[in-house]
């Protein structure tokens, strides 16, 4: 059988990964916040007709790299970020031989939901384990 994802998490593996994922989400949100603040600051400077360069641009590039790196951690782990603000992530998994997502939203007690690849959050169903 050909699967869309190379890596598939078991329920136990996804649950064990949650503390790490929570840390990654915090880092991702912080990096996004710094990037957004830099975007706003550079937009102000451009609006004033200033020639951009120097420390603010260097910092903005560093912020962009930090955001990219924070996203990359999820990519390397084959974990899908669905909503940064809500802390919604999906873990590719196999359930009864078919490819699905194990779904977790920050604040939930653990990975207790799954859904088909196409249905998304609205199609979540409880794991029966």
Residue 6 belongs to some domain of the structure: no
pLDDT the model gives residue 60? 83
What is the number of alpha carbons within 13 Å of residue 103 lying toward its C-beta?
Answer: 21
Residue 89 belongs to some domain of the structure: yes
pLDDT the model gives residue 51? 66
Residue 97 belongs to some domain of the structure: yes
- Per-residue pLDDT of the chain in tens (129 residues, 90 and over written 9): 899 999 999 999 999 999 999 999 999 999 999 998 887 777 777 766 666 677 778 888 898 999 999 999 999 999 999 999 999 999 999 999 999 999 999 999 999 999 999 999 999 999 986
Residue 1 belongs to some domain of the structure: no
> What's this model's pTM, rounded to 2 decimal places?
0.87
Instruction: For residues 3 and 90, give the distance between their C-alpha atoms in angstroms, rounded to a whole number.
Output: 16
What is the span of the domain harbouring residue 47? 11-126
Residue 104 belongs to some domain of the structure: yes
Number of domains in the chain: 1
pLDDT the model gives residue 16? 98
Residue 4 belongs to some domain of the structure: no
């Amino acid at each position: 059988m050909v699967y869309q994802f190379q890596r598939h998490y078991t329920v136990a593996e996804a649950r064990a990964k949650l503390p790490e994922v929570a840390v990654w989400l915090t880092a991702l949100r912080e990096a996004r916040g710094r990037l957004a603040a830099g975007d706003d600051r550079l937009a102000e400077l451009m609006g004033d007709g200033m020639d951009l360069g120097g420390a603010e641009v260097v910092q903005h590039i560093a912020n962009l790299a930090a955001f990219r790196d924070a996203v990359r951690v999820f990519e390397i782990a084959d974990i899908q970020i669905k909503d940064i603000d809500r802390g919604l992530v999906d873990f590719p998994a196999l359930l009864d031989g078919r490819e699905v997502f194990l779904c977790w939203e920050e604040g939930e007690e653990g990975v207790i939901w799954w859904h088909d690849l196409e249905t998304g959050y609205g199609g979540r169903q409880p794991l029966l384990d």
